[in-house]
């Protein structure tokens, strides 16, 4: 039995469809993984605020910061909670809205050819062992379905605009596990 359902939905993840997605351009092939971090409110974990944000249900009155972002329409393919639980918002055959203005290796619009993975976290603290274990499972499954060649952080495809996944993301662990991937820290954008 395949790990994948129709349209790039992964078995074993919680499916919470986001309205914030689109079709990939004709002929576009997934070849890039983009790692992000997110915490809502900033520096706080737990609760369902990220899920609400990616499904356009975030209450702007629930926290002062939410009033600034509640109108944004964004998504990622996957969200990995601190305990390693994975939520999928967009089928990987579709284009999630996670990268914004972005360029990788002289190719613009990274949303067109990437999968976005959000880790519950921030630029100020390490990620959990459970998150890395879940990330490895995701990367392994994605590489079985798509010709993934590169793995980058949001900061690498939107330099000066974004800083995630931040200084605590363990790129050395990624290199040890996936020596054949081109990593952002080793390739200039």
Known catalytic residue: 23? no
Whether 86 and 76 have beta carbons less than 8 Å apart is answered as no
Can you list the positions of beta strands (E) in 63-155?
A: 78-80, 86-88, 94-96, 103-104, 107-108, 114-120, 150-153
CB 184 within 8 A of CB 153: yes
Q: Give the separation between CA 123 and CA 127, rounded to whole angstroms.
A: 10
Which is it for strands 114-120 and 32-38: parallel, antiparallel or unpaired? parallel
The catalytic position among 51, 68, 106, 118 is: 118
Catalytic residue ranges: 118
């Amino acid at each position: 039995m395949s790990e994948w359902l129709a349209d790039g939905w992964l078995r074993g993840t919680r499916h919470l469809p986001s309205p914030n997605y689109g079709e990939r351009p004709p002929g576009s092939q997934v070849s890039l993984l983009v790692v992000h971090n997110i915490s809502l409110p900033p520096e706080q974990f737990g609760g369902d605020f990220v899920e609400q944000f990616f499904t356009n249900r975030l209450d702007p009155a629930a926290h002062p910061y939410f009033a600034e972002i509640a109108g944004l329409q964004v998504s990622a393919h996957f969200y990995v909670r601190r305990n390693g639980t994975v939520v999928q918002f967009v089928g990987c055959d579709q284009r999630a809205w996670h990268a914004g203005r972005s360029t990788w290796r002289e190719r613009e619009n990274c949303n067109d050819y990437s999968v976005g993975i959000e880790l519950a976290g921030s630029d100020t603290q390490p990620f959990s062992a459970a998150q890395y274990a879940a990330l490895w499972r995701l990367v392994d499954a994605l590489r079985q379905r798509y010709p993934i060649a590169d793995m980058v952080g949001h900061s690498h495809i939107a330099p000066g605009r974004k800083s995630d996944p931040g200084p605590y993301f363990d790129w050395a662990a990624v290199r040890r596990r996936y020596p054949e991937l081109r990593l952002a820290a080793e390739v200039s954008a």
